[in-house]
Copies of this chain bind each other. A is one copy, B any other.
Amino acid sequence: MADTSQVKALIYDVFGTCVDWRSGVAREVAAVARAKGVELDPLAFAVAWRDNYQPSMETVRSGKRPWTILDVLHRETLVGLLPKYGFAGKLSEAEIDDLNRAWHRLDPWPDTVPGLTRLKRKYIIAPHSNGNFALLLDMAKRAGIPWDCILGSETVKNYKPVPQSYLEAVRLLGLEPGNVMMVAAHNRDLRAAQAQGLRTGFVPRTYEHGPGQKTDLAPDGDWDVIARDHEDMAAQMGT
């Protein structure tokens, strides 16, 4: 394990790393489908929704459209998917808004709250997700994730992995990059953080995309800490 004695804050990827978006979104899609008499595979719907996550943010990162929060991008993707899954004309605007907020109501993995509760005793802990402020806050309130503050895309007005996203988070914390560890289940996120001088912690989530997952099954970079889960991370970080 690398020297992490200068780390004062741990900032976290959230979707996949801390919460199970696939099951959580599917659960809410299934409930709405049942209420509306629609038959579908809710897990496939969740994955299709998530499949447009990176493309939708890329329109902002590339400068093609001005700053737009994830709730808006999620809703646009949702509106595009509804007719393909048999929901054409079946949901009111308010019902679409509510289903869109399924992303505010995702459940943490079993190790997330116990691990982060331990880490919070010694470190600043904060989500640094591409989710917007209210999404991350609502999720934490519902699930009991004990963040010290909310970072993330809306606070820094950039989507990861844009370099400025990491540097602005570090600056807000009043720290130097070497004092901050990015924790993620995604190698790409860690690679971008490491390039800006942050420490890195990998926590695998090999079922994030379901049983056939092909990406991020193992660490593929020189990360400072590699942990089995958030409780193992807490132990390795001395808490």
- The interface of chain A, by Cβ under 8 A from chain B, is 71, 124, 132-135, 137-138, 140-141, 147-150, 154-155, 172-175
User: Could you say which residues of chain B place their CB within 8 Å of the CB of A132?
Assistant: 174
Main secondary structure of the interface of A (DSSP, over half): helix
Tell me which of B71, B133, B173, B175 contacts A149 (CB under 8 A).
Answer: B133
Taking a contact as CB atoms under 8 Å apart, the answer to whether A173 and B124 are in contact is: no
Bound-state Cα–Cα, A195 to B124, Å:
35
User: Could you say which residues of chain B place their CB within 8 Å of the CB of A154?
Assistant: 172
Which residue of B is nearest A120, CB measured? Answer: B141
CB distance from A47 to the nearest CB of B (A): 26
Ordered nearest first, which 4 A-B pairs have the shortest CB separation? A134-B174, A149-B150, A133-B172, A137-B149
Taking a contact as CB atoms under 8 Å apart, the answer to whether A148 and B137 are in contact is: yes
Taking a contact as CB atoms under 8 Å apart, the answer to whether A174 and B141 are in contact is: no
User: Could you say which residues of chain B place their CB within 8 Å of the CB of A173?
Assistant: 133-134, 137
**Given A133-B172, A172-B134, are A148 and B155 neighbors across the interface (CB < 8 Å)?**
no
CB distance from A156 to the nearest CB of B (A): 10
